[in-house]
Structure 1
Amino acid sequence: MNQRIFDGHNDVLLRLWRRDRTGERFLGLNAEGHLDLVRARQGGLAGGIFATFVMDEQRPKPAEPQGSVEAPMVGLSQERALHVTLAQLAIAFRIERASKGSVRICRSADEVQAANDAGAFAMMLHMEGAEAIGPDLDELETLYAAGVRSLGLVWSRPTVFGYGVPFRFPSTPDIGEGLTDRGVALVKACNQLGVMVDCSHLNEKGFWDVVRVSDAPIVATHSNAHVLSPSSRNLTDAQMDAIRDTEGVAGLNFATFFLRDDGRRDPNTPLDAMRRHLDHMLEKLGPRGVALGSDFDGAVIPAAISDVAGLPRLVDVMIEAGYSADLVDAICYRNWLDVTKRTQSLALGTSAPDTH
C-alpha cells in the first residue's frame, strides 16, 4: 500500500539549528537523525508540522526509566526565546528556497494538498512553547505572518502563559496550576487568527482551561494514552473525550517512553505497543480524531521503524490489525489537514468542507 503520510510533530529544525543552519542536511540523504527529504520520500512522508523549540541552557537529564524530571522554575528570557525561534524559522525558509520547489512552506490545508499534488514536500510551522511571545502578544502577529499555524502554549516548564507538565512516570498530568490570564488571552488570539492550540505539553488544569475558553478544535500533536502508559505527558480518557467533543485531533507519539507501560527509553519496543495506543485512541477519539505525531528527532523511537523511511512498517501494522484503507488514510494523512481546515474556517467564519 502506497500511503501518503502527513506527520503532526518533529524537531528537525532544532537539530539543524544545532548542526547546519543552512538546511542543506535536510535536502540530501544523511546519517543524522530521523528525517531528511530523501528518507521522507522513501517512507511516504509527504509533509509535516515542523516545530521550533528553545531548549533550556541547562536541561536536566531524565532518569531511566523515565522517572521524575522537573523543568527549571525560572523560564527562558523572551529575548533569547525569540532569537532562537526566528533562527529556526529562518532555516525552514532556507530549505524552501534551496529546494527550488521541492519543499514548500504551507499556511493552510489547501496549500498542503496543492503542494503534495504537485509532488512537493509540505512544511507547516509550529512553536513548541510560546516563550518568544511577550505579555502583550505583539510577536504573535509577526510569527503568524511568517507562517506559524500551530502553537504549543508551553513546553514542559512553567511560563507566563501556564504550567507545562513536567516529565514524571508514573504520574497523572494533574501537576500545577492552570492558564494565567495571559495564557487565556493567547488562546483567544490564536482562535482569532486560526492558529491551532496544541496541548501536548500542557498540564491537566491548563488543558481544561483551554477547553473552557477555546472556540476551536483542541489538538495534542504528540501524546498517547495515559491508561496504557502512565506518563504525565499522556492523555487521560477524559481528555481524549474532550478532544473528540471539540472535533479535535491527537497524534500518536512514537517515543518509546510514552508507549511503554514501564516508561523506558528502549528502542526494542515492539510495534504492537503503537497499535495498542492507536486502538485505544480510536475508541475514545473516533476515526476523525487520531493522527500521527512522531516526535522524529526529539525522542527514542522503536527500532523497527528506526527513522522516517520505516513509516510503511507502521502502515503495515494498521492493515494487519484490520484497519480499512479509508481509516489508514485518515490517520496517516487526512485528519491533520481536516482539523487545520476546521480551525482556520472558524477564524474566518466559514464552514470547513468534510472530506470524509
Structure 2
Amino acid sequence: MADTPFFDGHNDFLLRLRGAPDQRKTLWLEQGTEGHLDLPRMQQAGFAGGFFAIYIPSPHDENASDYQAMMDNPPYDLPLPALMNASEAQSTALKMAGHLMWMERASKGALRICRSSADLRACMADGTIAAIMHMEGAEAIGPDLDALYAFHAMGLRSLGPVWSRPTVFGHGVPFRFPGDPDTGPGLTEAGKDLVRACNELKIMIDLSHLNEKGFNDVASLTDAPLVATHSNAHAVTRSTRNLTDRQLAMIRESGGMVGLNYATVFLREDGRKSTDCGWDPVMRHLDHLVEKLGEDHVGFGSDFDGADLPDVIGDVTGVQVLIEQMRKHQYGEELIEKIACKNWTSLLERTWGE
C-alpha cells in the first residue's frame, strides 16, 4: 500500500540546528542516521507538514544528566528552571526563526512556511512540505507584546504561552510522575492579554505544557479551538504533562485537537523513558484519545528531535510503520487519513480562517 501522507504537531529540529550551526547544510539536506529528521528522510517518509518549534533552552544545568536517570526510575519530580526574561530569550528565538527561513530557501521549493490557509492548501495540493512556525514557551515575547507582532510578521502562526518553566504569562507543569496537571496558578494578566492578542492575529494557542488552571484560563478567554499539539492521555499514563478526561472533553467541545506525543515518558504506563516499550502504550493512548475526543480531533504530535521515542518508531521513517500498526489494530483507512493528516489541516483552517 502507498505511503499515507502525515502532518505532525511538534518537532524540535530547529533546536538541533541551533546546536550545530556549522553543520546545518548536512543536517538538513543530507540523509543522516542521527536525530529524527532531515529533508531526505521526511520526503521518504511521507511528511506532508508540521509545526517547527522555536524553543529557548534553559541555561546549562549541571544536574541534567541526573534528571535523565531519574526519569527512568520513577517516581520523580524534577525541579523547574527559573523564569527567563525577553532580553535573554529574543536573540535565540530570532536565530531559530532564521533557521526555518533558511531551511525554506535551502530546500529549493521542497518546503514552504505557511502563513495562511491558502498557503496550507497549496502545499497539500502540490506535495510541498508545509512548515508552521511555532513558539514553544513565549519567553521571547515581552509583556508589552510588541515582539509578538514582529514574530507574526516573520510567519509565527502557533504559540504555547509556556514550556514547563514559568514565564511572565503563566505556569507550566513540572516533569513529575506520578502526578496530575493541577500544579499551580493560572495565567497572569499579561498571559490573558497574550491570549487575546493571539486570537486577534489568528495565532493558534498550544496548551501543551500549560498547567490545569492555565488551561482553564485559556478556555475561558479564547474564541479559537483548544489545541494541545503534543500531549497524551492522563488516564493511561499519570504524568503531569498528560491531559485529563475533563480536559479532553473541553477540547472536543471546542472543535480542537490533540497530537499524540511519541515521547516514552508520556506513553509508558510506568512513566519510564526507556525506549523498548513496543506498540502497546502507543495504541492504548491513541485508542483513548479517539474514544474521548472523537475521530475528527486526534492527530500526531511526535516531539521529533526533542524526546526519546519508542524503538519501534525510531525516527520519521517509522511513522509509516505506526500507520501500518493502526491498520493491524483495525483502524479503517478513513480514520487513518484523518489522524495522519486531515484533522490537522482542518483544524488550522478553522483556527486561521480563510
Q: Residue 326 of structure 1 is aligned with which of 323, 326, 334?
A: 334
**Cα deviations across residues 3-43 of structure 1 (Å, max 9, x unaligned)?**
00010000000011111367412122122210111111221
Counterpart residue identity of residue 334, structure 2: D
Letter in 2 for 1:69: L
Aligned to 1:163: 171
Structure 1's consecutive aligned runs of 4 or more residues displaced over 6 angstroms after TM superposition are none
C-alpha separation between the residues in 1 aligned to 2:315 and 2:342?
22
Alignment of 1:100 onto 2:108: yes
The amino acid of 2:8's aligned partner reads D
Over aligned residues, Cα RMSD in angstroms? 1.3
One-letter code aligned to 1:4: P
Aligned pairs for 1:247-326 (under 5 A) are 247-326=255-334
1:247-267 per-residue CA deviation (whole Å, 9 max, x = no partner) reads: 000000000010011111111
**1:175 is aligned with what amino acid?**
T
Aligned partner of 2:124 among 90, 102, 116: 116
Summarize the Cα distance change of 1:248–1:143 in structure 2 as closer, same or farther, 3 Å threshold: same
What do the CA deviations read for 1:192-229 (whole angstroms, capped 9, x no partner)? 11111001000011001111111110100000000100
Q: Which residue of 1 aligns with 2:45?
A: 43
CA distance in structure 1 between the partners assigned to 2:294 and 2:94 by the alignment: 37
Match of 1:154 among 157, 162, 178: 162
CA drift of 1:44 comes to: 1.2
Distance (Å, rounded) in 2 between the aligned partners of 1:268 and 1:258: 14
Give the aligned residue type for 2:77: S
CA distance in structure 2 between the aligned counterparts of 1:132 and 1:274, rounded to whole angstroms: 33
Q: How does 1:1-356 map to 2 (within 5 A)?
A: 1=1, 2-20=3-21, 23-24=24-25, 25-59=27-61, 60-61=63-64, 62=67, 63=70, 64-65=72-73, 67-72=76-81, 74-345=82-353
Letter in 1 for 2:352: Q
Contact 2:226 2:251 in 1 (8 A): yes
TM-score with structure 1 length normalisation? 0.94
Q: Please report how far the alpha carbon of residue 117 of structure 1 lies from its aligned counterpart in structure 2 after TM superposition.
A: 2.5
User: TM-score with structure 2 length normalisation?
Assistant: 0.95
1:157-200 CA-partner distances (Å, limit 9, x unpaired): 11110011110000011001000001011011101111110010
Unaligned runs of 5+ in 2: none
Q: For 2:342, what is the secondary structure of its paired residue?
A: helix
Q: Distance in 2 between matches of 1:257 and 1:97?
A: 35
- 1:59-81 Cα deviation digits (max 9, x unpaired): 45321235111212x31121121
Q: Deviation at 1:109? A: 3.6
Kept after mapping to 1: 8 A contact 2:85/2:142:
no
Q: The residue matched to 2:255 in structure 1 has which SS?
A: coil
User: Aligned partners of 1:18, 1:339: CA distance in 2, in Å?
Assistant: 32
**What is the deviation of 1:294?**
0.1
Which deviates further from its counterpart, 93-102 or 242-251? 93-102
- Matched-pair identity in %: 49
Aligned 8 A contact 2:55 2:137 in 1: yes
1:39–1:309: 8 Å Cα contact kept in structure 2?
A: yes
**Which shifted more, 104-113 or 143-152?**
104-113
Give the superposition deviation at 1:119: 2.8
Q: Secondary structure at the match of 1:226?
A: coil
Distance 1:101 1:217, change over 3 A: same
Where 1:155 maps in the other structure, the secondary structure is: coil
Q: Deviations over 1:77-132 (max 9, x none)?
A: 21121110110010111111111111111113431231233232221110000010
Question: For 2:171, what is the secondary structure of its paired residue?
Answer: coil
Give unpaired runs (5+ residues) of structure 1: 346-351
